[in-house]
Amino acid sequence: MKSQQGAALPEFALIGLLFFTLLFSAIEVGRWLYTWNTLVEATRRGARIAAVCPLFDDYIKIATVFGTPSQSRPIANQNSLVVHGLNSSQVTIAYYSVEDATNTNKYVDLTAANANIAKIKLVEVGLDLNDNNWDYRFIAPVVGNILGKIFPPTVSTTLPIESLGDRQILSGGSAANFNKCGKVIAGGGP
């Protein structure tokens, strides 16, 4: 009778390859869903800030990429600490005036929006990820080389405007307070 030592090794190699492939695939799908959910939350956060801040305020883009009020100046390419490769240059802001169910005007620049500020009813904050070379980063680079770039679906949130410039102070009493739009208000709170 022949010795059976080492016979389990080829079996383990085949089963182990399948098991670890499925395990890491499940981890990658979970990471992708987390990233997608974070991108949706980023636009929701940006739209909520845009609903109360002045038109096209710099802080809207900073808040969308999970920045803080202290990072609001300068605005150019603030990187997100939450999502790799996401920065403030990828944030899009649009305001809409709604005349009736069939007539909606979109404003993507400050001059046109200011001229029609009384008619503006909605704000949309989105992420322009396809044109700015954002890509999902895989744990295993081999998977990324096989699948190539993966882009999320269009991510945007639209909310009704509330005040477009309400300057209420969020914290009180200190020498430097931040209002809803990330501006520093010197001289203390209410």
Q: pLDDT in tens for each of the 190 residues of the chain?
A: 566 676 788 888 899 988 988 888 888 888 888 888 999 999 999 999 999 888 888 888 888 888 766 655 545 566 777 887 788 888 899 999 887 777 788 898 888 888 888 888 899 999 988 765 677 777 776 666 676 667 777 889 999 987 665 444 444 444 344 555 765 555 444 4
Q: Read off the tokens for 119.
A: 């008619």
- C-alpha pair distances (Å), 146 with each of 27, 66, 134, 138: 17, 31, 17, 11
- H/E run at residue 38: helix 8-50
Question: Where do we find the tokens 């090794």?
Answer: 9
Dist CA 40 CA 157 (whole Å): 8
Q: What residue ranges do the domains of the chain occupy?
A: 12-164
Which of these, 119, 110, 124, lies nearest to 160 by C-alpha position? 124
Is 79 strand, coil or helix?
A: strand
- Beta strand 176-178 with 120-127 is unpaired
pLDDT in tens, 96-135: 988 777 778 889 888 888 888 888 889 999 998 876 567 7
Distance from C-alpha of 190 to C-alpha of 169, rounded to nearest angstrom? 8
What is d(CA 189, CA 24) in angstroms, rounded to the nearest whole number? 51
